[in-house]
Structure 1
Amino acid sequence: MRLGLATAVIGGLSLATATSADATPGGPGVSGTVLSQTTFGGKDYVLRRITIPPGQGTGWHFHDGTLYGFVEHGTLSHFDSDCESDGVYQAGDHLTEPSGADHVHIGRNLGTTDVVLDVLYVLPHGAPLAEDAPNPGCDFQ
């Protein structure tokens, strides 16, 4: 599935020069690089590689479109706005993040090695990659 997703995305997108882009408000060292992007049918398709160092996270946020992710390396711990774990994803796992302000979440690296994610953002044209959200009252960031 990962190969099919990557092939479809890369094959169908006009490759852009890889550019650095900050992750949604995250801890020190959290970074993202846009690998490819295009617009088709009123939607922006952005393929991005995100790296989260040990002990860091993405910050609380939501997306205006659906995200499809693949864990290249490490283990991603994912939490919802009820401060509950809604998934732990290890290398080789896929995850989907639904759209909307009612899906506030945070991704955290609770391990000892970098988490590296390949993420396909499917967003309404012109939407930001993520919308910041306040901590919903969880004891962690």
Structure 2
Amino acid sequence: MTRLRLAAPLVAAALLAALTPTAHATPGVGVSAKVLAQSTVDGVDYVTREITIQPGGSTGWHWHPGQVYGVIREGTLTHYDATDCAVDGVYNVGDPITERSGPGYVHVGRNLGPVPLVMWVGYIEPAGEPLANDVPNPGCPFE
């Protein structure tokens, strides 16, 4: 009986942990990337990548610790800001794109079109930092 009384709080805690929803990062879907160039100079990483997002795919919600800029090579990028879950840009072939940095600018890029989206993206980041930090969906009705 004493064992049962001691075990009951542990069982309750385990059930509560199992039933409590946890926030999980939203990984990209249908995304591939290849590094075109990479260099580190004076504690700063310079990386250029070609990113492809398949139709219906997305980057997942994320933010960048450094500067990001790019150009759309094929397809159309629909870009959303987490603040109000609204489209904050639609980018077509030849359009440039820049993104603010820091955890205060959570965003997602989606390919809502019928063809693959291809972007060339440049990153200027503090050396050793990730190019992006994945975060949970901020409560938007998609992703």
Shorter-chain TM-score bucket reads: 0.7 to 0.9
**Counterpart in the other structure of 2:73:** 72
In structure 1, stretches of 5+ residues that fail to align are 1-23
Structure 1 distance, partners of 2:42, 2:121, is: 20
Task: Name 1:118's counterpart in structure 2.
Answer: 120
SS in 2 for 1:113: coil
Query: Who is 1:138 aligned against?
Result: 140
1: CA distance, partners of 2:45 / 2:100: 16
Aligned to 1:91, which of 86, 90, 93? 93
**Rg larger for:** 2
Q: Indicate the residue corresponding to 1:39 in structure 2.
A: 40
* Over 2 Å off, 4+ runs: none
Q: Unaligned 5+ residue runs, structure 2?
A: 1-25
Determine the C-alpha separation between the residues in 2 that align with 1:30 and 1:38. Answer: 23
Q: Is 1:127 paired with 2:129?
A: yes
What residue in structure 1 maps to residue 31 of structure 2?
A: 30
* CA deviation map 1:32-67 (0-9, x unaligned): 001110011321000000000001100000000010
> Does 2:64 match 1:63?
yes
Instruction: Return the letter of the residue paired with 1:132.
Output: D
What is residue 108 of structure 2 aligned with on the other side? 106
How far apart, CA to CA, are the structure 2 residues paired with 1:42 and 1:103?
A: 24
- 1:38 maps to a residue whose letter is S
**Residue 96 of structure 1, CA deviation:** 0.3
Instruction: Give 3-state SS (helix, strand or coil) of 1:101's partner.
Output: coil
Q: How many Å separate the matches in 2 of 1:117 and 1:41? A: 27
Supply the distance in 2 between the matched residues of 1:41 and 1:84 (Cα, whole angstroms): 38
Question: How does the TM-score come out when normalised to structure 1?
Answer: 0.81
Q: Distance in 1 between matches of 2:135 and 2:99?
A: 15
Identical-pair percentage: 57
